[in-house]
Chain A
Amino acid sequence: MSHAVHGHVSDPEWRLPSRGRVGMFSLIVAESAIFVIFVVAYVYNIGRSTYGPQPRQVLELPILNTIFLLSSSFTIVMAERALVKRAMAAFKAWWALTIVLGAIFLLGTGREWSKLINVDHLTISTNLFGTTFYSLVGLHASHVIVGLIMLTTVLIFALTGALKPEHTEKVEVLAIYWHFVDWVWVVVFTVVYVIGR
């Protein structure tokens, strides 16, 4: 065994996983646990609200909104591909489109809430449905807001030319977060608008 004992690590490339990715996946695990608790609270309380507006009476399917948000997952992938190819103009265009789609989604949520509050008189304190609805959808919307702020920061860096090819991985890590936000919406949509209605 002496050759093994005195052998040095023969692989000159000591490769380890990217800490950005591992960190982001860990964050997503934690975020998922938070969402699971809110989703469980929502599902558990479906139909238990004893008074006030019920989901069937006030909620409309936000199909268009959903399409906007989910397609932003596609546009961000296109942006990443452009960045890998160093096609900065295409990157900026796809990236900006992602932000626009996310912003439209947020606007749609705002319009929905405005209608619920002003027309249906449903607020977070009106009844149990209002509490669970605004907290779950609001938790997701707050993640969209955080995502948009970070996406916009990257766009500003890209427009000022501060975004360099060596930042590709950081952009990709941010994109993982955006995919997470998009796919959580699938869960929220299913729970709130399909099962819960």
Chain B
Amino acid sequence: MAGSSIPVPGGLGATEVAAAEAEGTWLEVLHSWIVTVDHKKLGIMYVLYAMLFLVIGGIEAIIIRIQLFFPDNHFVSAETFNRIFTMHGTTMIFFVAMPITFGFGNYLLPLMLGVRDMAFPRLNAFAFWMSAFGGLLLYYSFIGGVGLQGAGSAPDVGWWAYSPLTSRAFSRGHSTDYWAISLIVSGFGSIGVGINFIATAFCTRCKGMTLFRMPLLPWLYVVQSFLILLAVSPLTAAQVMLTIDRYLGGHFFDTQAGGSALIWAHFFWIFGHPEVYVLIMPSFAVLNEVVPVFSRKAIFGYPAMVAASVAIAFVSLGVWAHHMFTIGMTSVGNAFFVLSTMVVGIPTGIKIFNWIATMWGGKIRYATAMLFCVGFLVQFLIAGLTGIILSIAPFNWQLHNSYFVIAHFHYVIVGGILFAMFGGIYYWFPKVTGRMLDERLGKWNFWLFVIGFHLCFDVMHVPGVLGMPRSIYTYEADRGWTTLNQIVSVGAAIQGIAIAILVYNIIRSCLKGAVAGPDPWDAWTLEWTTSSPPPPYNFAIEPVVHSRRPLWDLKHPNDPDEPLEEGMIHSGGKSPS
């Protein structure tokens, strides 16, 4: 340990945990959270904000499933149903999945890189509040604007909002405007986050942390951030066009004036497909941290993981029109988008094999965090396979806009992204709060979620193959979809219970969970060297690292990681000589 300035785990800060916190009246505490530029507080706020919207979007999902439980059901009106599924989709993508990944990145990037804060702390706070106000604006649509019927005037055009349905003539009132403007506002927030993550990973690293000594999580967030810059910006541009059409009488998507409804679909999916990878990169990031620690092995194929992530990002920018096979393209266009979509499977496969290779021969501990990650591996693989199925144009013509598609992307977003994020919550909760999440409740949470998930989304493929279209209000009894839909709804309810257990577990463990200590998982990255929760300044002494697993080096001074940097890319720092 000679010459190292990394404090021994538990050796530092345990006594000075957040001394400045929790003082003053509740008003002062509230004020300190609202004006904060601290990456940890903003990260926590992002995650709490996402959890709030997860519950709201979940309630909307339950309403959808109650409506579809019986044939010819009228639990809600058809107008309300349209609003509910539009709000469900928009909420889950923009106000659950995006902020929860931003929350993890915000909290973890500076800690993993061994620095005090993000590159631009004030931009960070600005971005959070833009996202937060975007969400409030979206939900204000229920009471704002001209009330129509049922659920007020929330948007009812679907989360993809195809033109010409969004034109002034067909979408009266302000519902679509609330949708567009809330996404512009939160989009600016997302772009701010992207800029901040890139600048943080490239420009604020502790001594010795070359780019190829960074843990994989910051790497994946860099890739995510570039995708945000290249994908969310087009959405913002398209929303500006839509707003020009609706407010200033423009003709971008007005076919009567020569405009094109088709180009909206292109613009939307130029955003929409990379968006999936914006969300999945942080999930990969969580797996890259959790799987090695709970397998007691270093990650297998670190450079391949980085390269595969970058490759996925590149390819994902050229696959958007596979959402548009049924709109009609030339054979060349079809072939291109079929092949480019299938190519995504190659780097993704590399990643899955790397995780399996990391687990192979390891001493696996099935804590709840690891269980969620193993769940991710299985489910994300299946989601990828149905994705390959859907990428085949003729098959897509048959299944497009059916429940098969809904099942496929929920497999990605729930079975992949949400599982990984829940794993991340179980893994880093001790660091954030200083207390462990209850493992017994965690097992209940995991198994109920797995059972509910598979009941719901495995079965959902079948009505899709049988021809049940998405976004459908109700169906006739003689279609043979009734039992299947009832199983799906039961699965949804079980997932709801699992999430309620998670919320209960979080609240309960915050109050009386076992004290975690700085390094409860015997992990290897820098965030575990500081106390739990970390002090506002993160590290009392600036860390210096010599390898990818600085904590491993500290714990095993006789068997440290090989310095791998010779001949690899690094910015400025020389390799140890």
Contact = CB atoms under 8 A, between A and B. Distances in A.
Residue with the greatest number of chain B CB neighbours at <10 A, chosen from A16, A18, A50: A16
B150 interface: no
Residue with the greatest number of chain A CB neighbours at <10 A, chosen from B120, B229, B263: B229
Given A5-B563, A16-B205, A50-B258, A128 B251 contact: yes
Residue with the greatest number of chain B CB neighbours at <10 A, chosen from A6, A7, A26: A26
Which 10 pairs show the lowest CB-CB distances between chains A and B? A125-B249, A7-B576, A33-B233, A19-B203, A15-B572, A37-B237, A131-B250, A48-B258, A30-B229, A26-B195
Given A10-B574, A33-B233, A50-B257, A131 B252 contact: yes
Contacts of B191: 27, 30
B349 interface: no
A8 interface: yes
A48 B254 CA distance: 11
Contact of B248 (A29, A49, A124): A124
B180 to A, nearest CB: 15
Contacts, number: 162
A18 B249 CA distance: 44
A23 B120 contact: yes
Residue with the greatest number of chain B CB neighbours at <10 A, chosen from A3, A11, A27, A131: A131
A131 B574 contact: no
Contact of B236 (A4, A34, A40): A34
B444 to A, nearest CB: 43
B306 interface: no
Interface in A1-45: 1, 3-11, 13-19, 22-23, 26-27, 29-31, 33-34, 36-38, 40-41, 44-45
A3 B3 CA distance: 12
Given A9-B208, A22-B199, A135-B241, A14 B562 contact: no
A135 B252 CA distance: 10
Interface residues of B, number: 61
A127 interface: yes
Interface of A: 1, 3-11, 13-19, 22-23, 26-27, 29-31, 33-34, 36-38, 40-41, 44-45, 48-51, 124-125, 127-128, 130-132, 135
B207 interface: yes
Interface in B222-279: 225-226, 228-234, 236-238, 240-241, 244-245, 248-252, 254, 256-260, 263, 267, 270
B157 interface: no
A191 B205 CA distance: 42
Contacts of B229: 26, 29-30, 33
A74 B150 CA distance: 60
A40 B231 CA distance: 15
Given A8-B4, A15-B572, A22-B119, 4 more contacts: A17-B203, A19-B119, A30-B194, A135-B240
A156 to B, nearest CB: 21
Contacts of A41: 241, 252, 263, 267
A131 B240 CA distance: 12
B2 interface: yes
A38 B270 CA distance: 13
Interface of B: 2-4, 119-120, 123, 191, 194-196, 198-200, 202-205, 207-208, 225-226, 228-234, 236-238, 240-241, 244-245, 248-252, 254, 256-260, 263, 267, 270, 544, 546, 553, 560, 562-563, 571-574, 576-577
Contact of A11 (B257, B260, B574): B574
A131 B208 contact: no
10 contacts: A7-B576, A9-B208, A13-B572, A15-B572, A22-B199, A29-B230, A30-B229, A36-B234, A38-B241, A135-B250
Contacts of A51: 257
A1 B546 CA distance: 13
B259 A26 contact: no
Contacts of A131: 244-245, 250-252, 257, 259
B576 A10 contact: yes
Residue with the greatest number of chain A CB neighbours at <10 A, chosen from B237, B238, B256: B237
A14 B237 contact: no
Given A7-B546, A45-B260, A14 B233 contact: no
A9 B195 contact: no
A19 to B, nearest CB: 4
A77 to B, nearest CB: 24
A165 B241 CA distance: 43
A4 B244 contact: no
B198 A4 contact: no
B225 A26 contact: yes
Contacts of B252: 41, 45, 128, 131-132, 135
A125 B248 contact: yes
Contacts of A50: 256-258
Contacts of B270: 37
B260 A44 contact: yes
A50 B260 CA distance: 12
A3 B562 CA distance: 11
Contacts of A8: 3-4, 208, 544, 546, 576
Contacts of B199: 19, 22-23, 26
B402 to A, nearest CB: 30
B258 A128 contact: yes
B234 A45 contact: no
A37 B320 CA distance: 14
A26 B3 CA distance: 37
A87 to B, nearest CB: 29
B573 A9 contact: yes
